[in-house]
Homo-oligomer: A and B are copies of this chain.
């Protein structure tokens, strides 16, 4: 596909493009919803097929439905390739590869039966839902969360780095204290136990038996219980700042005051009219 072709694409291509890639028309939105339903149904089939009782009773039905969805996704992939302004660019894009990966495993399974890896790849189809949502309205809320997470990422990294060191040292200490006879058979396993404990998951598959071990375990739990607060504190402060950021964007033309209330129409200091708010989306991208 060349640039030449793009300018002369048929009306059918244009029509398909607005339906498949667009979300403004009724047809486009219907296509998106139908696609989400297909994705969820096909993944649900993959999930149910691993339940032995379901597999024994409805095995052939599920196989049939799986091929039906494979054909649907293959046709969809073909149409996307055909209707996109630059097919090759689409094929190499992130979502192009995801679309291809949601089709390939079924065909591969014909030649390599019982391949477990294809099962995981089939589940990755779910991420295609994100693309649809991205085009819809939920973008700004997700973006706001992502921004807050990115802004706090350095603090969170420092936090997790320190926690990792503490986990490793505690793991080594517990291995020495409890030893292989109490289930702490190696330091990696002991580190696994420390993570299970410090995150307050607490499976109970490995538990300390000695008094000293239980004391260290109690200390580890209280540590986990109190440091659980830190990422929350960082993120909460950041989300609060992110929510308040909208206030700081306008500047009064008369007295240079910034930080007006969001809905204010007049400057709270000099009373002169304020300009319409700049979109916070655009400002914060820089």
Where the two chains meet, the residues of A that have a C-beta atom closer than 8 Å to any C-beta of B are 43, 46-48, 50-52, 116-117, 119-120, 123-124, 126-127, 129-130, 133, 138, 141-142, 144-145, 148-149, 154-162, 165, 168-169, 172-173, 175-176, 185-189, 191-192, 195-205, 207, 211, 214-215, 217-218, 221-222, 224-226, 228-241, 243, 248, 255-259, 261, 263-264, 266, 268-269, 271
Assembly CA distance A109 to B188 (angstroms): 21
Given contacts A168-B43, A191-B47, A256-B271, contact A207 B203 (CB under 8 A): yes
The listed residue (B116, B126, B231) touching A229 by CB distance below 8 A is B231
Given contacts A47-B188, A187-B46, A232-B229, contact A199 B221 (CB under 8 A): yes
Question: Please, which residues of chain B bring their CB within 8 A of the CB of A117?
Answer: 176
Assembly CA distance A117 to B217 (angstroms): 18
Question: Please, which residues of chain B bring their CB within 8 A of the CB of A48?
Answer: 188
The listed residue (B149, B221, B232) touching A232 by CB distance below 8 A is B232
Shortest Cβ distance from residue A264 to the other chain B in the assembled complex, whole angstroms: 6
Given contacts A165-B127, A257-B268, contact A145 B155 (CB under 8 A): yes
Question: Please, which residues of chain B bring their CB within 8 A of the CB of A126?
Answer: 165, 168-169
Is the pair A155, B169 in contact by a Cβ cutoff of 8 Å?
no
Q: 10 tightest CB-CB pairs across the interface, nearest first? A: A201-B202, A203-B204, A229-B232, A123-B172, A233-B236, A204-B204, A233-B235, A199-B225, A51-B186, A199-B221
Shortest Cβ distance from residue A167 to the other chain B in the assembled complex, whole angstroms: 9
Question: Please, which residues of chain B bring their CB within 8 A of the CB of A185?
Answer: 51-52
Is the pair A192, B218 in contact by a Cβ cutoff of 8 Å?
yes
Assembly CA distance A263 to B227 (angstroms): 31
Is the pair A47, B187 in contact by a Cβ cutoff of 8 Å?
yes
The listed residue (B142, B196, B238, B258) touching A264 by CB distance below 8 A is B258
